[in-house]
Amino acid sequence: MELILRNKGLTAGLMIVAVTFLFFGYFTQAQVEPPAESNSVGADLISLSQQLTRANLSTAVFSAPEYLFLTDFSSPIPEEPLGRINPFEALGR
C-alpha cells in the first residue's frame, strides 16, 4: 500500500490505461451472430462417422505383389538384465 501511495502518478496512469482498454474492448466488440441452424453443430462429425462405418477394408492388399516384396528391416531387441526387485530399497542390503 505504501508503494502505491508513493507512486500516485504512475498508479493513476496505469488505471487510466486499464479503463481505456476496457472501454475500447467493450465498444469495439463485434456482434456475434448465432448459427443459422442450431442442430448443425457437429453435423460434419456425424457425417464423417457414418462414412467411416461404411468403409470396407479389403484383404486383397496383403496378396498384392507390392506388399509381398516388402522387406522387414527390423532387428530383434536383445535381452537385457533386469533391475533390482525393489528399486526403492536402500543400496547394499
Total domain count for the chain?
1
Q: Which of 12-21, 29-38, 45-54 has the lowest average pLDDT?
A: 29-38
* Dist CA 7 CA 10 (whole Å): 5
Q: For residue 77, what pLDDT band results from cuts at 50, 70 and 90?
A: very high
Instruction: Specify the amino acid at residue 88.
Output: F
Q: Is residue 15 one of the residues assigned to a domain?
A: yes
Q: Is residue 19 one of the residues assigned to a domain?
A: yes
**pLDDT over threshold 60, residue 38:** no
| 3-26: pLDDT as tens digits | 777 788 888 899 999 999 888 887
Q: Is residue 2 one of the residues assigned to a domain?
A: yes
Question: Which structural domain, as residue segments, surrounds residue 24?
Answer: 1-28
Q: Are 28 and 34 in contact (CB under 8 A)?
A: no
| 80-90: pLDDT as tens digits | 888 888 888 88
* Dist CA 68 CA 60 (whole Å): 11
Whole-model pTM? 0.31
Q: Is residue 10 one of the residues assigned to a domain?
A: yes
Q: Is residue 54 one of the residues assigned to a domain?
A: no
